[in-house]
Amino acid sequence: MTAALAKLGAAALSDNRETIGWLLAAVLSPIILVTAVLCSVGGGGEAHNKAAISACFYGVSYTEQVPREFREHIADMQTAFSRLDSAIQTVNENAEDGGLDATRVKAAFYALCFGEDAPSRREAAQFASCFYTTETRTRTVEVTDDGTGETTTEEEEYTVNVPVSTETAYANAAALLEREVTDDDRGNVEKIYAMIAGTADSGGSGGSWLRGADPRVELDASVLTNPGTKNAADLVVYVEYAWRSGWGYVWGSYGNVLTEASLQSLIRQYPEMVGGFESVIRAKWLGGRTTDCVGLIKSYGWFDPDVLTIRYGTNGMPDVTANAMYHAATESGPVSMMPEIPGLAVWKDGHIGVYVGGGDVVEASGTSKGVVKTKLAERGFTHWLKIPYISYD
């Protein structure tokens, strides 16, 4: 199979998906489509392509019947994703207000580059560079005179990585890849992103919910029982503290205070998911701490109790989506068979919450509600999981 034919898989989400889906079926054969991408129904090219996307993002096991060329294309994309994750983490270490969205960058790479050889680390960094620019800014710092002990302030320059607009990112990608980024390409990126990341209010509206009654922005390590580890008991304490403190919901955030600058940065990153809800966000959440559903869990993983700061990408917890966290779990099962273990995560496609015991869940449930406490039986969660990177001793 050539790279050009493999790209039919990435194209199957376009407006011409029915024709392309039949071409893909002709190239790969029904056995490959059913067995390799774990799709048991003949639902056309889009359904098969969704399974191939899942294989790239989450991993999949193949039988010997699956041709080596197809397996290599999936493996190349998984290698590309790993190298993109590393590049994005480096970028975000010098970013403010969230940095790059790894899922969106990888969705763009899949749509534009499926079927190509895996990029080198340098090439992955070049692709990631399409999505941000480096700005020089100034800040006020305090300077102490060693001789007199007097403290004064002065302006100093520093650099920061800032996400660019979607239009600029696509223009940069077109120049780097030396090809046009078409409307079909852009549509594919959005469909892949929506499939992996979910929607802006992925929690849905079913069931009763309760807001916390003690609004605050302070973080408090004293509530943790064992702040030196990341454990299920303290995860429960942490998310219940976030709930009582009235944290809000903003897509792409993970527990930091939502400032005007951080809101503008998130709007640039997510013009639909955040920009489309700007008026509600301004009215309800500006000035408070905000998160999205998986960001609530990541904020605990990234919380540094020594300095009371949430530090992106720290403590061994990667920046992943709700679906990726579920698929990375080594212990999981249907909700109907969930053990009574506070600190388990509960999941449905595109959304995740934390089971806190007694039939209750704390979840970041959408822009209109924020972080709320709900009833497990009312929310439609389908599976439980032990969260990777959290101890359940």
pLDDT per residue rounded down to tens, the chain (393 residues): 334 334 434 443 433 333 333 333 333 333 333 333 333 323 334 544 776 787 788 776 666 677 788 888 888 999 999 899 889 888 988 887 567 888 889 999 999 998 889 999 999 999 999 999 999 989 888 888 777 878 888 888 989 998 888 889 999 999 999 999 998 898 888 888 877 765 445 566 567 889 988 889 999 999 999 999 999 999 999 999 999 999 999 999 999 999 999 999 999 888 878 888 898 899 899 999 999 999 999 999 999 999 999 999 899 888 988 988 998 899 999 999 999 999 999 998 889 999 999 999 999 988 888 999 999 999 989 999 999 989 998
pLDDT for res 277: 87
Sheet holding 209-211, edge to edge: 209-211, 371-375, 360-364, 351-357, 345-348, 383-385, 332-334
- Answering whether pTM is above 0.85, one says no
Identify the pLDDT of residue 271: 84
- For residues 89 and 371, give the distance between their C-alpha atoms in angstroms, rounded to a whole number: 27
> Residue type for 195, please?
M
* Residue ranges of E strands in the chain: 132-144, 151-163, 209-211, 248-249, 254-257, 289-291, 303-304, 309-310, 332-334, 345-348, 351-357, 360-364, 371-375, 383-385
CA distance 120 to 36: 26
Helix (H) or strand (E) holding 3: helix 3-11
Residue spans of alpha helices (H) in 285-334: 293-301, 322-328
CB-CB contact of 137 with 151 (8 Å): no
**Which residue in 61, 59, 98 sits closest to 82, CA to CA?**
59
d(CA 186, CA 86): 24
Neighbours of 75 (CB within 10 A): 15
Collapsed DSSP state (helix, strand, coil) of residue 69 = helix
Whole-number Cα distances in Å, 350 to 146, 204, 218, 292: 55, 10, 29, 11
Strand order in the sheet with 289-291: 248-249, 289-291, 254-257
Q: Which of 97, 56, 136, 90 is nearest to 259 (CA)?
A: 97
pLDDT at 61: 62
For residues 366 and 27, give the distance between their C-alpha atoms in angstroms, rounded to a whole number: 42
pLDDT of residue 37: 37
pLDDT score of 66: 72
What's residue 272's pLDDT?
79
In sequence order, which residues have a C-beta less than 8 Å from that of residue 160 and are 6 or more positions away? 94, 95, 96, 134, 135, 137
As its CATH architecture, domain 209-385 has: Alpha-Beta Complex (3.90)
Domain chopping of the chain, boundaries: 3-117+180-197, 209-385
Handedness of CA 326, 248, 303, 264 (dihedral sign): positive
| Residue 347 vs residues 302, 327, 329, 366: alpha-carbon distances, Å | 21, 10, 11, 15
